[in-house]
């Protein structure tokens, strides 16, 4: 085959005609105009990749607010371990969300931070050395074990109070009652659950025993084997919350049981109207943690015409930006 023929074939395959796609042109911020942080966020819409997904998430949350949607805020324990705890506390203090969904660690670490601060450490710190020093590591955050000792001293009298309450009224306490009592007793305005108690914002914890809170209940039951927390009442009030909502929206930081609990409850109303995921999980292993919004549509957990997006990102970076451009402006 001669060179002329080769060129003809190559050009035919490479220089193909194309249709012009719809959409805005890709463009980033122009720093020649100076540094304008709001302008940088605005430029995310046309930036591409996860910046564009974050821009979409901001738009969805603002639409939630405009439509007065009932807002489910879900977050895993590591979000509370980090400085995002203060962002979440702001939202609860100012009644920006309607219900909280978290894990056991998402409860206890908020309370523990009121008893003693967490410290910035390093991801590559030697685990054996930290163990010798009594320091627990959460990513690059250090938590001295003395914080958990202080937590035990704080919570055991509260469990006794709730045990006596259950005996008096002849009915076990619920998980939400326990969480509100922790918030009431901590008396710290930095606490998420102080404000949840103060503002009567309910908290659903579908994994109430999976952490130091569960450890303390374990120890308490040596003293009172008949002590019970009625988690069935929690699932009833939580599921009933979704039914009849005019508009339902969710912001979910992290994944796992928190994500599934919110989606599963909203399946009872045939799906969320608005949904924002922020996590780094992948879907190729079939886990719910990594599942995309479109998979939830197939289950009836998100409405087919819903506004939904997943931002593949570290929530500690993007969630403060999202709040600044939505709830923080209202």
Residues 187-208 pLDDT 10s: 999 999 999 999 999 999 999 9
For residue range 12-57, what is the model confidence (pLDDT) as tens digits?
899 988 999 999 999 999 999 999 999 999 999 999 999 999 999 9
- The tokens of 62 are what? 């603002």
Active site residue 301: yes
Task: State CA 13 to chain mean position distance.
Answer: 48
1 falls in which pLDDT band (50, 70, 90)? low
Return the sign of the alpha-carbon dihedral for residues 35, 41, 46, 50: positive
Determine the average pLDDT of the residues in 235-263: 97
* Residue whose token pair is 């924002």: 276
Tell me whether strands 141-144 and 135-138 are parallel, antiparallel or unpaired: antiparallel
Q: How far is CA 290 from CA 75, 248, 268, 285, 295, in A?
A: 15, 22, 22, 8, 10
Residue 139 pLDDT > 80, yes or no? yes
Distance CA 78, CA 279 (A): 12
For residue 141, what are the β-bridge partners? 120, 138
Phi and psi dihedrals of 143, rounded to 5?
-130, 105
Residue 292 contacts residue 274 (beta carbons within 8 Å): no
Extract the tokens encoding 30: 């122009």
Angle between helices 212-223 and 104-115 (to 10 degrees): 90
d(CA 151, CA 116): 10
Per-residue pLDDT, averaged over 130-146, amounts to 98
CB-based contacts of 318, cutoff 8 Å, min separation 6 = 50, 54, 57, 278, 311
Segment among 6-20, 47-61, 253-267 with least mean pLDDT: 6-20
- The CATH number of the structural domain formed by 49-117+146-329 is 3.40.910.10
Average pLDDT of the residues in 200-221: 97
User: Which is catalytic among the residues 96, 181, 301, 310?
Assistant: 301
Residue 318 has pLDDT above 70, yes or no: yes
pLDDT at 7 exceeding the cut of 90: no
Q: Any idea where the domains of the chain sit in the sequence?
A: 49-117+146-329
Residue 161: per-residue pLDDT: 98
Above 90 in pLDDT, residue 2? no
Please choose, from the candidates 320, 325, 277, 306, the residue with its C-alpha nearest in 3D space to the C-alpha of residue 62: 325
Partners of residue 240 on adjacent β-strands: none
Coil vs helix vs strand at 112: helix
Dist. CA 128–CA 126, nearest whole Å: 6
- Residue 102's beta-bridge partner residues? 75
Arithmetic mean of pLDDT over the chain: 96
Report the pLDDT value the prediction gives residue 288, as an integer from 0 to 100. Answer: 93
- 125 pLDDT tier (thresholds 50, 70, 90): very high
How many CB atoms sit inside 10 A of residue 4's CB?
8
Indicate if the pLDDT at residue 311 is higher than 70. Answer: yes
The predicted structure's pLDDT at residue 4:
81
Contact 155, 213 (CB under 8 A): yes
User: Can you say whether the dihedral through the CA atoms of 145, 146, 149, 150 is positive or negative?
Assistant: negative
């Amino acid at each position: 085959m001669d060179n002329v023929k080769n060129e003809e074939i190559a050009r035919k395959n490479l220089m193909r005609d194309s249709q012009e796609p719809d959409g805005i042109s890709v463009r980033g911020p122009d720093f020649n105009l100076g540094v304008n942080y709001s302008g940088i966020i605005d430029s995310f819409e046309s930036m591409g990749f996860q910046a564009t997904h974050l821009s979409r998430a901001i738009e969805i949350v603002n639409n939630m607010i405009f439509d007065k949607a009932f807002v489910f805020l879900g977050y895993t324990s590591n979000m509370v371990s980090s400085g995002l705890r203060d962002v979440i506390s702001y939202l609860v203090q100012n009644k920006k969300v309607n219900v909280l969904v978290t894990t056991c660690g998402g409860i206890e670490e908020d309370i523990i931070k009121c008893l003693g601060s967490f410290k910035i450490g390093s991801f590559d710190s030697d685990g054996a050395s930290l163990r010798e020093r009594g320091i627990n590591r959460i990513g690059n955050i250090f938590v001295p074990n003395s914080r958990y000792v202080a937590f035990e001293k704080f919570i055991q009298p509260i469990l006794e109070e709730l045990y006596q309450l259950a005996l008096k009224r002849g009915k076990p306490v619920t998980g939400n009652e326990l969480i509100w009592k922790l918030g009431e007793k901590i008396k710290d305005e930095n606490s998420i659950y102080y404000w949840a108690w103060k503002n009567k914002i309910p908290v659903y914890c579908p994994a109430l025993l999976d952490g130091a809170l569960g450890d303390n209940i374990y120890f308490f039951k040596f003293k009172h084997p008949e002590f019970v927390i009625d988690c069935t009442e929690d699932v009833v009030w939580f599921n009933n919350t979704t039914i009849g909502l005019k508009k339902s929206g969710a912001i979910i930081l992290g994944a796992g049981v928190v994500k599934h609990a919110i989606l599963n409850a909203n399946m009872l109303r045939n799906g969320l109207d608005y949904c924002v995921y922020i996590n780094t999980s992948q879907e190729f292993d079939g886990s719910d943690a990594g599942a995309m919004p479109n998979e939830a549509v197939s289950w009836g957990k998100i409405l087919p015409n819903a506004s939904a997006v997943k931002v593949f990102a570290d929530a500690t970076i993007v969630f403060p930006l999202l709040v600044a451009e939505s709830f923080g402006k209202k």
